[in-house]
Chains A and B, each alone.
Chain A
Amino acid sequence: MTTTPTRKKRGTLRAEFGSPERRTAYYMILPALLIILIVAFYPIGYSIYLSFFKATIGNTGNFVGLQNYADMLTNSNFRTGLSNTIIFTVVSVFFEFVIGLAIALAINRAFRGRGLVRAAILVPWAFPTVISAVMWRLMFQDQIGIIQYVASALGVVSEPILADPTLLLLGAILVDVWKTTPFMALLLLAGLQTIPGDVYEAARVDGASVVQRFFRITLPLLKPAILVALLFRTLDAFRIYDLFWVMSSRELESLSTFVYKAVRVSQLNFSVGNAAAVFIFVTAFLIAMFFIKVLGMQTSTEE
């Protein structure tokens, strides 16, 4: 206890790497970590570095401090993208979770036709996003789209869906819910099936009602699976790109489409787009921290 901090640190480091089990752990993690560091962290670091310069795509340019971030915040397209992304993320993840949980609960049992149901829940998710976007766009279309046709016939909409930004966003949410609810259900089902049946058995013997069993057993035991599923979906929705891009034929702005346009299409907005990319990264990081620290999602097994 009287050792200097440095010596203490060296001591713990030696203990850390001296222990065979711990050393094994590092060896096992190293390959995955290395790939990730080289292929993703170098570019990420580079992007963060560039975000402080008036960079063009081939050229670092002058140091401008936080100017790019200030330009980003005053950019009207960025703001539209931000609000669309937030609405899209909150609404679509909410519906995906509620419907996904209902489906997972419903099919977590033996019944005739399970195979069909399981195949059905996997089909939308298995569909390539680019293709489903093209396909739904066709169904939303003014002249040949079945959804537009039915919605107009029922008097639900009077505007062409694809011409109205609000309806477009709703459409994108609908497509995302259709496409990724199965994924949510799959993850939750996996969690449900790790809950041993005898827990329910015991609760039933104790006279707990269905609702009680759901809130007292299923939800708490399912919490880890729920948090993982929610975090993945939230982050995915937050980075939405190809669905907006293809389905709205680039009219619907999200944070990622803003970045794509600025970084790949524009020749002048590179630095602002790069700042926006860093913004997405940092925001997503904060979302994850919220899940881990505030909601208590487990990221390690230290019991």
Chain B
Amino acid sequence: MTDRVEGVAKNEATAMVQRGINRRDFLKLAGAGLAGASLLGVAGCGGGGGQGGNGGPVEVTFATTPDPTGTFQKLIDQFNKENEGKIEVKYQQAPPDSSQFFDQLRTEFQAGSARINVFEGDVTWPAQFAAPGYVADLSDRFTQEERQKFLEGPVQSNIYEGAPFGVPWRTDAGFLYYRKDLLDEAGLEPPKTWDELKQTAQAVQQSAGTKFGYVFQGADYEGGVVNGLEYIWNAGGDVLDPSDPNKVVIDNPGAVDGLSIERSMVEDGIAPKAVSTFKEDESTAAFLNGDSVFLRNWPYVYAQAADPEASKVKQEQIGIAPLPSVSGEESASGLGGWNLMLNAASEDPVQDASYELIKFMTAPERQRTLAIEGSYLPILQELYDDQEVVDAVPVIALGKEAIQNTKPRPVSPYYSDMSLRMAEQFNASLDGETPPEQAVATLQEALTEIVKQGQA
């Protein structure tokens, strides 16, 4: 080895003795490294959306959370075909975790990015994106008259300071699923109040030996907030004053009752202790595995029960009812679902083209396709009386009452901050770490602070 070095050294570098590294050598090395890096880097540069130059179609990038049914892609293909030469929609799949999608979008919008032009957003997003001006005001496009055709709750979720910032395109509502077969066997009716639910659950657990009475989503996350809110609403409580959204009213007896009822589900042995770690998936798994009499969840569960691979419980064994309340009177379900919104940073032709896509996606025929082929709940009133839709998606008829009595979560530009605190406190109360009274008092203070900071 030494010989080789000696040879090389003698031939090449006698003149360089003791001069150390020579600039040319160094630049050569560095250059080689950078060239390699940039080659690979450039290979990854994709097109960044925007207008397709002179006369080409306008390019629109559309982002949604994953759609396992493939219906979105199908509709986009149809749209591209109908608008060939004019508009070209690129579909972009976002992360399934909606809060992650939200963070990504917000990071992009802060940087003024117009990469994504139109996107679906959770019902809690419009206020949060509208306040800093990230999404376009749709007052001129989504008119009062247009809004009449849509379900009330989903439309409301798009209104911030009187103006619409999104168009609903699929909705969700919390349902009470129950084991119809087991209730029938025991000769019991689906419960109207929480007390009835407990009694029914206990009776069925004893007669049929079911492991749990009731499962829902109690983990420290957004779904836990919706569940907690439903308990609070259906006990007569609320978070913000309906007439003054800047007034926090969560420290009230209704809210305490609501959280106490939620906690009592665990204390009375109706729900497993682990329910405070359950998200949609865990609770669904318990119910579809035949381990629970009742389940609070979104409409998608019903379709899953049709798959014997995924479910031991068959669809005909399942019934759907509105959530119980304290009084037994009409109850509210947490509103879920997704709205379509326009990035305010998109340039003009792109923005118009993006709205074309929104109009297309929310038109009755597409809503019907979404319902029939993708089991997505439509947001147009008329489809709830459409026999073809109701036949194809029985959950629409079964859950009609709940779907029409939804209540949005607090509308605030700082909802994500409120949600973090509510998730944490609701979860601590459900775990038994914090008494409901204390959780509610903590929240009263924390949410007031958030509202105050938000106004400053």
Do A and B contact each other directly (Cβ–Cβ < 8 Å)?
Answer: yes
Binding site for B on A (CB under 8 A): 20-21, 23-24, 27-28, 31, 57-58, 77, 141-144, 159-160, 162-163, 249-251, 261, 264-269
Inside 8 A of A143's CB, which chain B residues have their CB? 274, 282, 285-286, 289, 291
Cα(A164)–Cα(B107), bound, Å: 33
Contacting pair B417 A268 (CB below 8 A): yes
**Residue-wise interface mask of B (424-456) relative to A, using a CB-CB cutoff of 8 A (1 in contact, 0 not):** 100100010000000000000000001001100
Say which residue of B30, B128, B219, B414 sits within 8 Å of A249 (CB atoms).
B219
Which of B19, B21, B277 gathers the greatest number of chain A CB atoms within 10 Å? B277
Contact of B220 with A142 in the complex, beta carbons under 8 Å: no
In contact, A249 and B450 (Cβ under 8 angstroms) = no
Partner of B274, one of A24, A27, A160: A160
Interface assignment of B148: CB less than 8 Å from any CB of chain A: no
B110 CB within 8 Å of chain A:
yes
Contact, CB under 8 Å: B277 / A142: yes
Counted as pairs of residues, one from A and one from B, with CB atoms less than 8 Å apart, the total is: 79
The verdict on B346 contacting chain A, using a C-beta distance below 8 Å, is: no
Chain B residue contacts of A250, Cβ below 8 A: 220-221
The answer to whether B20 and A24 have CB atoms under 8 Å apart is yes
A residues within 8 A CB of B431? Answer: 163
Given contacts A160-B273, A163-B274, A251-B219, contact A267 B416 (CB under 8 A): yes
Tell me if B12 counts as interface (CB < 8 A to partner A). no
Contacts A24-B21, A58-B132, A143-B286 aside, 8 further interface pairs with beta carbons under 8 A come to A57-B106, A77-B424, A249-B220, A250-B221, A251-B219, A251-B220, A251-B277, A267-B413
- In the assembled complex, B18 has its CB within 8 A of some CB on chain A: yes
In order of increasing CB-CB distance, the 3 nearest A-B pairs are A142-B274, A20-B20, A24-B20
Q: Does B103 contact A (CB under 8 A)?
A: yes
A264 and B128 alpha carbons, distance in the complex (Å)? 14
Q: Which B residue sits closest to A31, measured CB to CB?
A: B30
Closest-by-CB residue of A relative to B454 is: A268
Instruction: Please tell me if the beta carbons of A249 and B19 are within 8 angstroms of each other in the complex.
Output: no
With A21-B20, A23-B21, A58-B132 known to touch, is A265 a contact of B103 (CB < 8 Å)?
yes
Bound state CA distance, A126 and B293, in angstroms?
42
Q: Interface of chain B, helix or strand or loop or mixed?
A: helix
Q: CB distance A163 to B277 under 8 Å?
A: yes
Q: Using Cβ atoms and an 8 Å threshold, which residues of chain B touch A58? A: 110, 132
**Interchain Cβ contacts under 8 Å between A and B, 10 examples:** A23-B20, A28-B21, A141-B274, A142-B273, A142-B274, A143-B274, A160-B274, A162-B277, A163-B277, A250-B221
Establish whether residues A162 and B420, one from each chain, have CB atoms under 8 Å apart when the complex forms. no
List B contacts of A160 (CB < 8 A). Answer: 272-274, 277
| Distance A143 CA – B292 CA, assembled complex (angstroms) | 12
Set of chain B residues within 8 Å of A31, measured between Cβ atoms: 30, 33
* A164: nearest chain-B partner, CB-CB: B431
The 8 A CB mask of B257-295 against A (1 = contact, 0 = none) is 000000000000000111011010010011001010000
Kindly list chain A residues whose C-beta atoms are within 8 Å of the C-beta of B420.
Answer: 261, 265-266
Nearest A residue (CB) for B219: A249
Write out the residue numbers on chain A whose beta carbons fall within 8 Å of the beta carbon of B30.
31
Q: In B197-244, which residues have CB < 8 Å from any A CB?
A: 219-221
Q: How far is the CA of A160 from the CA of B286 in the complex (A)?
A: 15
Q: Is B143 an interface residue (CB 8 A)?
A: no
Residue numbers in A under 8 Å from B274 (CB-CB): 141-143, 160, 162-163
